[in-house]
Chain A
Amino acid sequence: NAGVTQTPKFQVLKTGQSMTLQCAQDMNHNSMYWYRQDPGMGLRLIYYSASEGTTDKGEVPNGYNVSRLNKREFSLRLESAAPSQTSVYFCASSEAGLFGAPTDTQYFGPGTRLTVL
């Protein structure tokens, strides 16, 4: 199993450009998540999807959109990139779905390092 995979690994954008970060998991997990990691701030939740066909906002959703394409894939889109979105982005997945236990473990991808100039 590859676990959680993310593409691309690195990306440089100019302000105003758009892009989509891709995430896929092969563990048959129900829930998927997008986080951003900034120095000294830990990880902050951008969006999550508790099951195929549903998405919800996390702590810092502004400037982002997501699509749960199917059970395996969860993409994050930046419509008009801003320097404040320079960060490392992590996708994660967990087994539990809508009515699952909150005790389940999240598994993380390797991350995408995004720089917005």
Chain B
Amino acid sequence: AQSVAQPEDQVNVAEGNPLTVKCTYSVSGNPYLFWYVQYPNRGLQFLLKYITGDNLVKGSYGFEAEFNKSQTSFHLKKPSALVSDSALYFCAVRVPGDYKLSFGAGTTVTVRA
């Protein structure tokens, strides 16, 4: 069975500071990992994904994520947060041969001006 954990319900940062949203996963086999963002009253938007290769993945809006196999983590990062980054962030995992995309519970990010 595959699962994803987002250990923090909420993350609060000041604008201009680094932003990190944590994600750990549990799968049998090689994982495919995704980050999505949800703005209020909107659907989920794809940010980035890790399939294979370089452990550092760059995505939309200046976000990046680092895959760490030994720690089974895929943390989302942004060097300098903006107020407009305030949203709900979801980590998700999928394994080969399975159509199911398993989502974490989500982390609410608030960036204060």
Contact = CB atoms under 8 A, between A and B. Distances in A.
Contacts, number: 55
Contacts of B99: 31, 48, 50, 56, 102
Interface in B27-65: 32, 34, 36, 41-46, 49, 51
Interface string A76-112: 0000000000000010100000000011011111110
Max count, chain A CB within 10 A of own CB: residue among B4, B34, B106: B106
Interface residues of B, number: 26
B98 A102 contact: yes
Size class of A's contact patch?
20 to 34
A111 B32 CA distance: 25
Nearest to B105: A42
B94 interface: yes
Q: Is the interface of B mostly helix, strand, loop or mixed?
A: loop
Nearest to B100: A45
A95 to B, nearest CB: 12
B105 A102 contact: no
Nearest to B42: A110
B90 interface: yes
A58 B103 CA distance: 13
A58 B100 contact: yes
A40 B105 contact: yes
A108 B103 CA distance: 14
Contact of A102 (B9, B32, B43, B106): B32
A43 B106 CA distance: 9
11 contacts: A31-B99, A42-B103, A42-B106, A43-B44, A48-B99, A50-B99, A102-B32, A103-B94, A108-B44, A110-B41, A111-B43
